[in-house]
C-alpha cells in the first residue's frame, strides 16, 4: 500500500509500499516519530482516506473497491474508533454516548443491555446516567473504549488513546484495552508514543519515512496482505 500526496515537485510519499497482516484478537502498535506516516496508515485502515496504490482487506472485503455509501456502512459496522480526546458529547449521559454508534448504524436489538454490560466491563456501571462532562478524563476514555466496542467491530482503531492522560491513568487504560482484547478476542490497532506503557503485544509496526519496519530494529517486514 502506497499513499502519495501532491504531484511533481510537490509530491510527498506518506506511505511507501507498506504491507502487513493482522490476526483477529491481536493488539498491534503503530509507532514512529511525528510526520513518519503512522497517522496516515491509521486513516487508511479506518477508511478515512484511500491509498494511491494497493489494497486493504478487512474480513476478506477489499475495502478499496467500495463506494462512498458502502464505505460509510462498512466503517459503522466493522470499525470502532478511540481518539486521544474522548470526544464524548457533553450534554448526553455516559450511556447515551455509548449508544451513538448503534443509532448511526441503524441497529438496536438489545443494545442498551450490551452498553450496560460494557460499562460494567470497564468499571463504570455506577456512572450510567451521569453527564459526560461530569466524569474524569480517565473515566471518559473508558467510556470511549466502551463506545468503540458497542458495534462489535472487527477492529478498534485507537489514535494516541493515552496521550491526554497522566501516567497512572494511562497504564489503567492500556491494561483495560489489553484485557478486552483477550476477553472478547477483539483486535486493537493503536497509534502511540507511549510504547513503554504497553509491554508485550502481538505486533509492533514502526513507521519511518513512510516505510514499515518490525520493532525497534527497523528490519524490513516480510508480511503481506
pLDDT digits (tens, 9 = 90+) for 29-80: 999 888 888 989 999 999 999 999 999 999 999 999 999 999 998 998 899 9
pLDDT at residue 218 above 60? no
In this structure, how many other beta carbons lie within 10 angstroms of the beta carbon of residue 158? Answer: 27
**pLDDT band at residue 84 under the 50/70/90 scheme:** confident
Query: What residue ranges do the domains of the chain occupy?
Result: 3-88+153-220
How many residues are recorded in the chain?
225
Indicate if the pLDDT at residue 141 is higher than 70: yes
Confidence tier at 110 by pLDDT (50, 70, 90) = low
Q: What is d(CA 146, CA 116) in angstroms, rounded to the nearest whole number?
A: 9
In terms of phi and psi (left: phi > 0; alpha: psi -120 to 50; beta: otherwise), the region of 136 is beta
pTM score, two decimals? 0.86
Distance CA 52, CA 4 (A): 6
Residue 168 contacts residue 133 (beta carbons within 8 Å): no
Domain 3-88+153-220 classification at class level: alpha beta
Neighbour count for residue 44 (Cβ, 10 Å): 22
Determine phi and psi for 166, rounding to 5 degrees. -70, 170
* Mean pLDDT of the residues in the chain: 87
Tell me what pLDDT residue 51 has.
93
Helix (H) and strand (E) counts for the chain? 7, 11
pLDDT at 216: 44
| pLDDT score for 68 | 94
Residue 196 has pLDDT above 90, yes or no: no
Q: Residue 194: pLDDT band by 50, 70, 90 thresholds? A: confident
Cα separation values, 154 from 12, 46, 61, 157, 199, Å: 31, 11, 12, 10, 23
Residue 75, classified by CB atoms within 10 Å of its CB into exposed (0-12), middle (13-18) or buried (19+), is buried
C-alpha cell at 57: 482487506
Percent of the chain at pLDDT above 70?
92
Query: What is the three-class DSSP state of 27?
Result: strand
For residue 10, give the C-alpha cell: 510537490
By three-state DSSP, how is residue 187 classified? strand
- CA–CA separation, 203 vs 160, rounded Å? 17
Give the dihedral of Cα atoms 220, 202, 19, 15; nearest 10 deg. -80
What's the rounded Cα separation, in Å, for the pair 146 and 186? 12
Amino acid at each position: 500500500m502506497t499513499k502519495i500526496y501532491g504531484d511533481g515537485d510537490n509530491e510527498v510519499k506518506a506511505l511507501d509500499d507498506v504491507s502487513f497482516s493482522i490476526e483477529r484478537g491481536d493488539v498491534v502498535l503503530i509507532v514512529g516519530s511525528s510526520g513518519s506516516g503512522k497517522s496516515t496508515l491509521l486513516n487508511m485502515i479506518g477508511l478515512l482516506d484511500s491509498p494511491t496504490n494497493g489494497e486493504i482487506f478487512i474480513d476478506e472485503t477489499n475495502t478499496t473497491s467500495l463506494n462512498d455509501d458502502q464505505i460509510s456502512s462498512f466503517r459503522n459496522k466493522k470499525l470502532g474508533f478511540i481518539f486521544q480526546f474522548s470526544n464524548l458529547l457533553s450534554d448526553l449521559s455516559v450511556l447515551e454516548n455509548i449508544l451513538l454508534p448503534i443509532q448511526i448504524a441503524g441497529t438496536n436489538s438489545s443494545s442498551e443491555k450490551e452498553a450496560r454490560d460494557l460499562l460494567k466491563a470497564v468499571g463504570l456501571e455506577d456512572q450510567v446516567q451521569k453527564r459526560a462532562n461530569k466524569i474524569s478524563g480517565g473515566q471518559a476514555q473508558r467510556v470511549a473504549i466502551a463506545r468503540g466496542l458497542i458495534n462489535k467491530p472487527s477492529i478498534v482503531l485507537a489514535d494516541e488513546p493515552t496521550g491526554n492522560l497522566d501516567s497512572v491513568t494511562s497504564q489503567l487504560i492500556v491494561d483495560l484495552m489489553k484485557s478486552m482484547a483477550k476477553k472478547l478476542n477483539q483486535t486493537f490497532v493503536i497509534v502511540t508514543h507511549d510504547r513503554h506503557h504497553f509491554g508485550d503485544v502481538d505486533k509492533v509496526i514502526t513507521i519511518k519515512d513512510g516505510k514499515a519496519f518490525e520493532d525497534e530494529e527497523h528490519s524490513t517486514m516480510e508480511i503481506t496482505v
